C-alpha cells in the first residue's frame, strides 16, 4: 500500500513560481504567519500549490534575510569542514551560515565546491608525490651503497620488473607512513617496516635475526619472500651495531604468533572519521571516494584512499591530547550538540586543504612497501 498523497496532485500547479504567487504567499505569511499548518495554507490564500511547495518557496526564497550566491572563502571553509565531519547534513551546515538555506548549500556543494576542492587537492597530491619520490629514491640509493643484499632485492623491484613483486604472505594493513622515506632511518625504519608487515621482535632493543618472528610460517612463502625478510634482518643487525637508535619511538605491535594474523597489529592506526557507533566512517569513506573518482586520472589515488587514516602516537591516543595528529580521537568525543567545535576548534581541520594535508594515505594491500615504489614511479 502506497503512501497517501499530501495534496490533490491533479489540482495543484507545479514548476516555477510566478511573481504573483510569490507576492500572494509572502503577503499572507508576513501578515498572518503560517498558522502552523502548511498543508491548509494554500487553500486559505487561493493558491493552487501543494503545502509543501509553499513551505519550500517561503523557506528558500521568500523569507527575509536570505542570501543567494556569492559564497565567501570563509563560508567555503565552514561548509568543507562540516561536510568532512558530519557529511551531507545540509540543514545542520546551513544553521551555521546565517542567511543560507540547506538547499542553497547543497546545490553549491554539488555544482561548484566539490569540483573546486578536487582541483586543489589534485595539485597538492601531485606535488607531494614528486617530493616523496625524490626522497625515496635517494634513500634507496643510500641503502644500496650500504648493503648489497638489500639492493639485490630492491633493485629487482625498481629496475627490472616492478610489477612482478613476490607474493608476500597476507599480513595486516601496513602503515604507509612508517614506510615514508623521511621516517625510514636505517635500522629503525627497517625494523618498523618488518613489524608493519606483521613480524615481531622479542624485545625492542633486540635486532638479531633469531629474535625476529615472521608474520606467517616462512617456510610456506616463496624463497624470494624469505630472502627479503632475511636481507632486511641482516641489514638491521649490521647497522644496529653502529647505531644505537631508540626504538621506543615506534609503536609496538600486537602480533599474534599463534595464528600469524597479526591481531591488531597497527594499534596506532585508526580511521579518522570513525566514531565507533554511527557509521560516519562508511559515509565519509564513500564521500571521499566519490571525490577521488571524480577524475579518472586520479585512479591510483582512489585506490590508495581505500583506506583513509589518521595516525596518532600512543601518547596522543592514551591521553586524548589535542596535539599533532590526534584529531581523530578528539573528534570521536564531539557530540552533535557541539557543532561549532567541528567548525572552529583548533583541534579540528580548519579547511579542506589542511584536512588533505593531515590525512595519511594508507595503501591497503600488504605489498605497500613495494607498491610505494611503483607509486613513486621507480621503475
Task: Compare residues 60 and 354 and give the one whose CB is closer to DNA.
Answer: 60
Choices 49-57, 127-135, 185-193, 256-264; region in contact with DNA by CB under 7 A: 49-57
If one asks whether residue 31 binds DNA (CB under 7 A), the answer comes out as no
The Cα–Cα gap between 1 and 95 comes to: 36
Task: Compare residues 12 and 133 and give the one whose CB is closer to DNA.
Answer: 12
Residues 6 or more apart whose CB falls under 8 angstroms from that of 362 comprise 173, 174, 175, 176, 177, 269, 304, 307, 308, 309, 368
Contact of 197 with 171, CB cutoff 8 Å? yes
Look at phi and psi of residue 279 and say left if phi exceeds 0, alpha if psi is from -120 to 50, else beta.
left
The Cα–Cα gap between 153 and 373 comes to: 13
Which listed residue (8, 10, 15, 223) binds DNA by CB under 7 A? 15
If one asks whether residue 56 binds DNA (CB under 7 A), the answer comes out as yes
Task: Compare residues 122 and 300 and give the one whose CB is closer to DNA.
Answer: 122
Which listed residue (19, 64, 69, 98) binds DNA by CB under 7 A? 69
Contact of 35 with 44, CB cutoff 8 Å? yes
Residue 11 CB, shortest distance to DNA, in Å, is: 13
What is the crossing angle of helices 114-146 and 148-155, to 10°?
140
Q: What is the CA 48 to chain-centroid distance, rounded? A: 48
Bridge-based pairing of strands 200-201 and 269-271 is: unpaired
If one asks whether residue 19 binds DNA (CB under 7 A), the answer comes out as no
Choices 37-45, 274-282, 318-326, 338-346; region in contact with DNA by CB under 7 A: 37-45
Residue 292 CB, shortest distance to DNA, in Å, is: 18
**Residue indicated by cell numbers 611503483:** 374
Contact of 259 with 198, CB cutoff 8 Å? no
If one asks whether residue 122 binds DNA (CB under 7 A), the answer comes out as no
Which listed residue (45, 60, 135, 144) binds DNA by CB under 7 A? 60
| Residues of this chain, 83-112, that bind DNA according to CB under 7 A | 88-92, 102-104, 106-108, 110-112
Which listed residue (3, 98, 242, 335) binds DNA by CB under 7 A? 3
Which listed residue (57, 100, 143, 271) binds DNA by CB under 7 A? 57
If one asks whether residue 76 binds DNA (CB under 7 A), the answer comes out as no
**Shortest CA distance to 79 belongs to which of 117, 53, 45, 41?**
117
If one asks whether residue 221 binds DNA (CB under 7 A), the answer comes out as no
Residue 308 CB, shortest distance to DNA, in Å, is: 19
Q: Rounded to the nearest 5 degrees, what angle is found at the Cα of 324, between the Cα atoms of 308 and 329?
A: 55
Contact of 137 with 378, CB cutoff 8 Å? yes
Which listed residue (26, 29, 45, 52) binds DNA by CB under 7 A? 52
Choices 7-15, 267-275, 303-311, 336-344; region in contact with DNA by CB under 7 A: 7-15
Secondary structure element (H or E) that encloses residue 270, with its range: strand 269-271
Task: Give the total of residues touching DNA (CB under 7 A).
Answer: 42
Residues lying near DNA in the complex (CB under 7 A): 3-4, 6, 9, 13-17, 34, 36-40, 49-53, 55-57, 60-61, 68-69, 88-92, 102-104, 106-108, 110-112, 115
Amino acid at each position: 500500500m502506497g503512501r497517501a498523497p499530501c495534496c490533490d496532485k491533479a489540482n495543484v500547479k507545479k514548476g516555477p513560481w510566478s511573481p504573483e504567487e510569490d507576492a500572494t504567499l509572502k503577503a499572507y505569511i508576513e501578515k498572518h504567519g503560517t498558522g502552523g499548518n502548511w498543508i491548509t495554507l494554500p487553500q486559505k490564500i487561493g493558491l493552487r500549490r501543494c503545502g509543501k511547495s509553499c513551505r519550500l518557496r517561503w523557506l528558500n526564497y521568500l523569507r527575509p534575510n536570505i542570501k543567494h550566491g556569492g559564497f565567501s572563502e570563509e563560508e567555503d571553509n565552514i561548509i568543507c569542514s562540516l561536510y568532512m565531519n558530519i557529511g551531507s547534513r545540509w540543514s545542520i551546515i546551513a544553521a551555521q551560515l546565517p542567511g543560507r538555506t540547506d538547499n542553497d548549500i547543497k546545490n553549491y556543494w554539488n555544482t561548484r565546491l566539490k569540483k573546486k576542492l578536487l582541483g586543489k587537492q589534485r595539485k597538492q597530491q601531485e606535488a607531494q608525490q614528486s617530493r616523496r619520490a625524490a626522497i625515496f629514491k635517494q634513500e634507496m640509493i643510500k641503502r644500496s651503497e650500504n648493503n648489497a643484499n638489500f639492493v639485490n632485492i630492491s633493485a629487482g623491484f625498481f629496475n627490472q620488473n616492478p610489477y612482478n613483486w613476490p607474493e608476500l604472505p597476507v599480513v595486516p594493513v601496513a602503515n604507509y607512513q612508517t614506510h615514508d622515506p623521511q621516517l625510514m632511518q636505517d635500522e629503525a625504519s627497517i625494523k618498523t617496516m618488518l613489524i608493519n608487515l606483521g613480524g615481531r621482535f622479542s624485545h625492542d632493543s633486540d635486532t638479531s635475526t633469531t629474535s625476529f618472528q615472521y608474520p606467517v610460517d616462512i617456510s610456506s612463502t616463496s624463497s624470494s619472500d624469505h630472502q627479503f625478510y632475511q636481507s632486511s634482518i641482516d641489514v638491521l643487525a649490521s647497522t644496529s651495531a653502529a647505531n644505537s637508535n631508540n626504538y621506543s619511538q615506534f609503536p609496538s605491535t600486537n602480533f599474534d604468533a599463534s595464528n600469524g594474523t597479526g591481531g591488531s597489529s597497527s594499534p596506532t592506526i585508526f580511521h579518522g572519521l570513525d566514531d565507533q557507533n554511527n557509521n560516519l566512517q562508511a559515509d565519509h569513506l564513500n564521500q571521499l571516494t566519490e571525490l577521488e573518482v571524480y577524475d579518472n586520472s586520479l585512479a591510483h589515488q582512489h585506490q590508495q584512499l581505500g583506506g583513509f587514516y589518521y595516525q596518532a602516537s600512543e601518547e596522543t591516543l592514551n591521553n586524548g591530547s589535542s596535539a599533532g595528529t590526534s584529531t581523530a580521537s578528539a573528534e570521536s568525543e564531539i557530540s552533535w550538540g557541539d557543532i561549532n567545535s567541528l567548525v572552529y576548534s583548533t583541534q579540528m581541520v580548519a579547511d579542506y586543504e589542511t584536512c588533505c594535508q593531515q590525512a595519511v594515505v594508507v595503501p591497503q594491500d600488504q605489498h605497500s612497501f613495494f607498491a610505494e615504489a611503483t607509486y613513486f614511479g621507480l621503475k
